[in-house]
Structure 1
Amino acid sequence: MEAFLGLMIPIIALSIPIIAIWTTHQRKLAEMQIETTASASAEKAAQYATQIQRLEDRVQVLERIVTDKGYDVATQIEALRDARSHDEAAGMSLDFDKRERA
C-alpha cells in the first residue's frame, strides 16, 4: 500500500499542471471559435443588409414608375439601364442581366 501511495503522489503531482495546461488550451480554442463565428455572422448580416437595401431601392424606383402619371416610362427605363451599366463598370455585377442577355 505504501508503494502504491508513493507512486501515486508524483503521478498526481505531475498530472495537475498537465490538466491545467490542457484546459487553458481548450478554453482558448473555444474563444477563437466563438470569435470566428461572430465575425462570419457579422459579415453575412452586412451582406444581407446591403442586398435588402438594393432591393428596397429598386422597389422604390418601380413604385415611382408605376404610380407617377404622365411619367415617361421609356425614358425612366433607359435611365435605369444606364445606371445599371454604370454600376457594372464600377465593379458591381448584376447577375440577372447576364441571364437576360444569354
Structure 2
Amino acid sequence: MNPEIVNSIAPVGAIAVFTGMVGWVATTWLKVKNGYPLENSWGKPLYPNGGGEAMERIKLISEENAQLQAELGSLKDRMAVLERIATDQPSRLAAEIDALATKQLN
C-alpha cells in the first residue's frame, strides 16, 4: 500500500474507533442509569448481584404490598355497604336499623 493513502485514512479510522468507543460507553451508562440489564457478548442479560440487601428490600415490599391489598379489600367492602346505604330507600333502612335495635334488646 501507498504510505500516503495510509496516512490519509488513519485519522478517519481513529475517529471511527473513538466514536464507537464513546457510543458504547454512553449506551452502557444509559442502560445502568435507567435500570436496564447489561448484556454479555452473547446477548444474554447480566443482572448485577444485589446481594442480601436487595432480596430483603424485595421481601419488605412484597409484605407491604400484601398488607395494602388486604386493606384495599376491606375498604372496597366498606364502600359497598356505604353505597348500599346511600342508595337504599329510607324506609327500608329505618326498618333494618329498628330490627337490629330490637335484636340487641332481646
Q: Which has the larger radius of gyration?
A: 2
Question: TM-score, normalization: structure 1?
Answer: 0.42
Question: TM-score, normalization: structure 2?
Answer: 0.40
Higher helix share: 1
